[in-house]
Amino acid sequence: MENIIPHDFHIGKTDRNKLNAHDSFVVWFTGLSGSGKSTIANLVENELFKKGIKTFSLDGDNVRKGLNNNLGFSPEDRYENLRRIAEVAKLFVESGSVIIASFISPLEKDRKLVKSIIGVENFVEVFVNTSLEECERRDVKGLYKKARAGEIKNFTGIDAPFENPQNPDLEIKTETESLEDALKRIVLHLEDKLKISVQ
């Protein structure tokens, strides 16, 4: 690593944000499989896009199909999965985009790693809080049934832990809050974040 010298480019995040007329950052959705993360994230991106915001989505399954297709679900691989995603998200923030990231990211230490890579000032954590019972009832992808049958190992919520975020920027309780209300609340929270600070 001693021979690696990062290049200093003439155009940076501040320049791109001014061009786009909005700030750039990551909105990180965390929660159990089936909690509704991707559904809500997709709706949020759609609303921001309609407002003329430069956005890009990163989603767990999509990333594992490409960039991280050599990783499994051991604690070490989960850690590396999130580390790579955080580095990619950081690049997109530098490009001037609002990144909508949807990942289970079950451990607090791993979410802290992501936040440290991206930068606290560029990170909005949204905890999609749906009970395990409700996620199993939905079982949109049929994964809980397979996990209960022992066909999937290290499945979050069954034989791998999920640690609830202690201080998320937003908490969405999908069992008591409608999608419409959750969407309004998230977009409202992001509106101030989108404003460019006066230099």
**What are the catalytic residues?**
105
Sheet holding 55-59, edge to edge: 55-59, 98-102, 26-30, 123-129, 170-173
Q: For the chain, what's the residue count?
A: 199
CA nearest 14: which of 141, 198, 178, 144?
198
Tokens 């790693």 correspond to: 113
What does the DSSP 8-state code read for residue 24? -
Contact 29, 102 (CB under 8 A): yes
User: Up-side HSE of residue 91: CA atoms within 13 Å toward CB?
Assistant: 6
| Alpha carbons 184 and 12: distance in angstroms, whole number | 31
